[in-house]
């Protein structure tokens, strides 16, 4: 608790708090204290710079997830962020709330334990495509079926970034990776199909370029009151992009801009290159 | 009130008594009765998709503030190993019950065994200090389930509760109300309100610290002495002295019940806290005996531990295969004592 107050009220240029006491006063006596908060209060700035490569898409998701939570005015003490293992899995540790960084593939199982252990908590899971759709696929199938309330943000960079660039379940057919030197022989997993096969579902696809849409999707997901899955189209410059001939991160981002279009009212299903929300 | 109870039900009752309010598990013989029993006891109960989920789920539920348990047998125990290591790294109190059956693999599902002793000690990768209990009666299933929760709270680490299919399915009359028990309350604040970071990486105050070898050694020492000093307060064992006995039998779980008729001519040392091995007690007691025979339903797993601790020759009888005939066990011990059998007569009965 003490920790939380100190971090929340750390004097910074945006809030202009002059002292810790001011902050405590505002916190307890000014009922609208959260108007003074910004997404920045949800992030552990003392841990920056992050472990991510310059230009990586994961940082964008970190920021917009924090923004989404902040704008929903969920008190920090009620938020728990859970991650699995991978570059994306490092996200949890940068949130200035209680956070868990568990085993590769098991984020959902641990998150379900957290939620069922204390239903007051708002649980947000941030992890990678390999983590959630590969090694953790079985848990995704069943946690979504049980419709446990949590918002799962899957950062899909179509690769195993952390381990150097191996084929992931979302790698597109034909893509060269360390474990598919001849090009991936398989079609990628259909996350939308998997999630929407549940009678009760919330599936959103967004991207690290379509930021407003990303934030809105996360907000809707968190507010749903059940299981929500948000696939965020991202990219990995260092362990995938360069091998594929991309010069830098903006080039990859630009491809997302060109390829994906938001469909504000999809009829039950999103096309392969559409972003939007499919829900019951 | 006296009642007829099954070992598996007694563990569940002990857990409830200890304050467990979260159970996650996956069905498996011979442990399923534990989860059947807990399915309608008003606690948070999850029949998960697999044992991996169960073990990871109780890491989460324990951190969020509930005393938590899972139960399984060999195949499920193998699946849980990674999460047990996570529990040690994150310092999570949790209890894992393993009602042992014959392995490896699917093995002989309905027959009891003691083949997961070393797995209990060191099943997850890396070094860690595991506390393990092993009762031998229905009453003890209840009593030591409570102690398992207590020890896990105090040590803030996963505690493994070993049983065997025999003890799990044993029916005995017990009076649970007559069993005295002290309950250790929760030792960590539940999730919410702070900004703690729990990670499976080596970390210092929640910040990953994965390249600092000196810090690893410092952390490891701290963890080890924590587990050891807590387990010192849980040094449960039974010692039955036979008058003029020159041979000490070491047995645990159901085997310790089967050898009972021989005690008198022999003495019995029965560890209940299997790990960390009761070194001090063992050394003291063993020093009075010419021979030591470890009788266990595996190929000498605990015998190795005893030899390591006592640094002397120890004989063993290995009762593998899942059947347990008191006459045969008696004959083997006699045969070994009078030199007619060699140590480790595993071949024929
Ligand atoms: C059980 C287990 N197997 C393998 C690994 C090694 N590993 C770490 S991260 C990772 C892949 C992560 O890929 P993804 O989830 O897509 O995350 P990204 O790094 O791309 O963000 C693997 C295989 C591990 N940590 N644990
Ligand atoms: S390896 Fe790829 S996914 Fe990982 S931080 Fe670097 S750019 Fe991002
Ligand atoms: Mg990935």
What one-character-per-residue DSSP string does B11-30 give? Answer: HHHHHHHHTEEEEEE---TT
* Ligand 2 centre distance from Cα of residue A253 (Å): 14
Q: Is residue B132 classed as helix, strand or coil in its secondary structure? A: strand
Q: Looking at residue A29, what is its pLDDT?
A: 53
**Residues B158, B49 share a domain:** yes
Residue A2 above 90 pLDDT? Answer: no
**Residues B90, B21 share a domain:** yes
Element (H, E) at A188: none
Which of B42, B58, B66, B194 should one mutate to test binding to chain A, selecting the residue with the greatest count of A CBs within 10 A? Answer: B194
**Residues B272, B160 share a domain:** no
Q: Looking at residue A64, what is its pLDDT?
A: 98
| CATH at A102 | 3.40.50.970
Q: Indicate whether A89 belongs to any domain.
A: yes
| CATH at B44 | 3.40.50.970
Neighbours of A185 (CB within 10 A): 9
Q: Which of A104, A137, A153, A179 to mutate to test the pocket of ligand 1 (most atoms within 8 A of CB)?
A: A104
| CATH at B243 | 3.40.50.920
**Residues B224, B111 share a domain:** yes
C-alpha span between A169 and A68 (Å, rounded): 28
φ, ψ of residue A156 in degrees (nearest 5): -95, 100
**Residues B98, B225 share a domain:** yes
Contact A97/A80 with Cβ under 8 angstroms?
Answer: yes
Q: Is residue A149 classed as helix, strand or coil in its secondary structure? A: coil
Torsion region of B68: left, alpha or beta (phi above 0 gives left; psi -120 to 50 gives alpha): beta
- Tell me the residue range of the domain where B274 lies: 237-337
Nearest Cβ partner of A102 from B50, B56, B195? Answer: B56
Q: Which residues on adjacent β-strands are paired with residue B67? A: B20
φ, ψ of residue B86 in degrees (nearest 5): -60, -40
Q: Indicate whether B43 belongs to any domain.
A: yes
Q: Looking at B217, B232, B247, which one is the last position of a domain?
A: B232
pLDDT by position in tens, chain B (length 349): 999 999 999 999 999 999 999 999 999 999 999 999 999 999 999 999 999 999 999 999 999 999 999 999 999 999 999 999 999 999 999 999 999 999 999 999 999 999 999 999 999 999 999 999 999 999 999 999 999 999 999 999 999 999 999 999 999 999 999 999 999 999 999 999 999 999 999 999 999 999 999 999 999 999 999 999 999 999 999 999 999 999 999 999 999 999 999 999 999 999 999 999 999 999 999 999 999 999 999 999 999 999 999 999 999 999 999 999 999 999 999 999 888 887 765 544 4
**Residues B259, B164 share a domain:** no
> Total domain count for chain B?
2
φ, ψ of residue A93 in degrees (nearest 5): -65, -15
Partners of residue A116 in chain B, C-beta under 8 Å? 22, 44, 46, 57, 61
**Residues B169, B53 share a domain:** yes
Ligand of minimum distance to the alpha carbon of A156? 3
Interface size, chain A vs chain B, as Cβ–Cβ contacts under 8 Å:
138
The closest alpha carbon to B239, from B255, B228, B250, belongs to B250
List all residues 6 or more positions away from A30 whose beta carbon is below 8 Å from its beta carbon.
Answer: none
**Residues B227, B241 share a domain:** no
Q: Indicate whether B53 belongs to any domain.
A: yes
Q: Looking at residue B337, what is its pLDDT?
A: 87
Residue A28 above 60 pLDDT? Answer: no
Q: Indicate whether A30 belongs to any domain.
A: no
Least confident range from A10-19, A38-47, B171-180, B334-343: namely A10-19
Tokens of B224: 């080890």
* Ligand 2 centre distance from Cα of residue A4 (Å): 30
**Residues B249, B163 share a domain:** no
Name the closest residue on chain A to residue B85, using Cα atoms: A103
* Ligand 2 centre distance from Cα of residue A236 (Å): 5
**Residues B252, B284 share a domain:** yes
**Residues B242, B228 share a domain:** no
Contact B134/B162 with Cβ under 8 angstroms?
Answer: yes
Q: Which residue has the tokens 């499920």?
A: B76
Tell me the H-state helices in B180-246.
213-232
pLDDT digits 0-9 by tens, A170-222: 999 999 999 999 999 999 999 999 999 999 999 999 999 999 999 999 999 99
The closest alpha carbon to A168, from A86, A109, A272, belongs to A86
Contact B208/B199 with Cβ under 8 angstroms?
Answer: yes
Contact residues, chain A to chain B, C-beta under 8 Å:
1, 3-4, 7, 44, 47, 76-78, 80, 82, 85, 92-93, 95-103, 106, 109-118, 120-121, 138-139, 141-142
The closest alpha carbon to B96, from B42, B46, B163, B48, belongs to B163
> Total domain count for chain A?
1
The interface predicted TM-score (ipTM) is 0.96
The closest alpha carbon to B119, from B108, B109, B132, B110, belongs to B132
- Tell me the residue range of the domain where A85 lies: 38-279
Element (H, E) at A93: none
Contact B207/B197 with Cβ under 8 angstroms?
Answer: yes
- pTM across the whole model: 0.94
Q: Looking at B232, B267, B291, which one is the last position of a domain?
A: B232
**Residues B179, B119 share a domain:** yes
Which of A82, A117, A118, A122 should one mutate to test binding to chain B, selecting the residue with the greatest count of B CBs within 10 A? Answer: A117
Q: Which atom of ligand 2 is nearest to the CA of A238?
A: 7
């Amino acid at each position: 608790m003490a920790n939380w107050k100190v971090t929340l009220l750390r004097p910074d240029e945006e809030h202009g708090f002059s002292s810790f006491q001011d902050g405590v006063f505002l916190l307890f006596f000014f009922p609208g204290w959260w108007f003074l908060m910004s997404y920045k209060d949800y992030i552990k700035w003392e841990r920056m710079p992050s472990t991510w490569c310059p230009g990586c898409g994961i940082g964008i998701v970190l920021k917009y997830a924090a923004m989404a939570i902040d704008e929903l005015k969920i008190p920090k003490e009620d938020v728990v962020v859970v991650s699995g293992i991978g570059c994306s899995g490092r996200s949890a540790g940068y949130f200035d709330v209680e956070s868990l960084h568990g085993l590769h593939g098991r984020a959902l199982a641990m998150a379900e334990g957290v939620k069922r252990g204390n239903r007051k908590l708002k649980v947000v899971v941030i992890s990678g495509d390999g983590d959630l759709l590969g090694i953790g696929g079985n848990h995704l199938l069943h946690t979504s079926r049980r419709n446990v309330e949590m918002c799962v943000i899957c950062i899909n960079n179509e690769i195993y970034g952390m381990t150097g660039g191996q084929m992931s379940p979302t790698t597109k057919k034909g893509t060269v990776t360390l474990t598919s030197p001849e090009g991936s022989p398989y079609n990628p997993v259909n996350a939308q199909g998997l999630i929407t096969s549940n009678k009760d579902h919330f599936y959103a696809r967004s991207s690290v370029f379509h930021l407003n849409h990303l934030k809105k999707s996360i907000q809707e997901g968190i507010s749903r009151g059940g299981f929500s899955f948000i696939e965020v189209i991202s990219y990995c410059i260092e362990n995938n992009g360069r091998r594929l001939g991309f010069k830098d991160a903006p080039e990859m981002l630009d491809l997302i801009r060109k390829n994906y279009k938001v469909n504000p009212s999809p009829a039950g299903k999103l096309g392969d290159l559409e972003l939007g929300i499919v829900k019951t | 009130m006296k009642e007829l109870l099954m070992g598996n039900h007694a563990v569940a009752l002990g857990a409830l008594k200890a304050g467990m309010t979260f159970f996650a598990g996956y069905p498996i013989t011979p442990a399923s009765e534990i989860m059947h029993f807990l399915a309608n006891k008003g606690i948070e109960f999850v029949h998960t998709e697999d044992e991996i989920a169960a073990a990871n789920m109780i890491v989460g539920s324990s951190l969020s503030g509930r005393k938590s348990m899972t139960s399984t047998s060999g195949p499920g125990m193998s699946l849980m190993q990674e999460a047990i290591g996570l529990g040690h790294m994150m310092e999570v109190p949790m209890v894992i019950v393993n009602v042992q059956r014959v392995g490896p693999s699917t093995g002989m599902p309905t027959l009891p065994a003691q083949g997961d002793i070393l797995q209990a000690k060191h099943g997850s990768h890396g070094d860690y200090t595991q506390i393990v209990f092993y009762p031998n009666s229905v009453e003890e299933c209840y009593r030591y389930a409570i102690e398992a929760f207590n020890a896990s709270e105090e040590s803030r680490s996963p505690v493994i509760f070993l049983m065997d299919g025999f003890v799990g399915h044993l029916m005995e009359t017990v009076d649970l109300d007559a069993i005295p028990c002290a309950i250790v309350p929760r030792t960590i604040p539940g999730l919410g309100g702070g900004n703690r970071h729990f990670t499976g990486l080596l970390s210092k105050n929640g910040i990953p610290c994965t390249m600092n070898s000196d810090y690893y050694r410092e952390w490891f020492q701290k963890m080890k002495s924590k587990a050891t000093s807590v387990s010192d307060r849980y040094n449960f064992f039974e010692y039955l002295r036979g008058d003029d006995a020159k041979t000490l039998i070491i047995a645990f779980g159901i085997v310790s019940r089967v050898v009972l008729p021989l005690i008198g001519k022999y003495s019995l040392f029965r560890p209940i806290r299997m790990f960390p091995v009761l070194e001090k007690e063992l050394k003291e007691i063993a020093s009075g005996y010419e021979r030591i025979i470890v009788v266990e339903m595996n190929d000498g797993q605990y015998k190795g531990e005893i030899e390591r601790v006592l640094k002397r020759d120890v004989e063993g009888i290995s009762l593998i295969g899942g059947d347990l005939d008191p006459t045969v066990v008696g004959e083997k011990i006699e045969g070994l004592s009078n030199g007619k059998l060699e140590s480790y007569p595993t071949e024929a009965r």
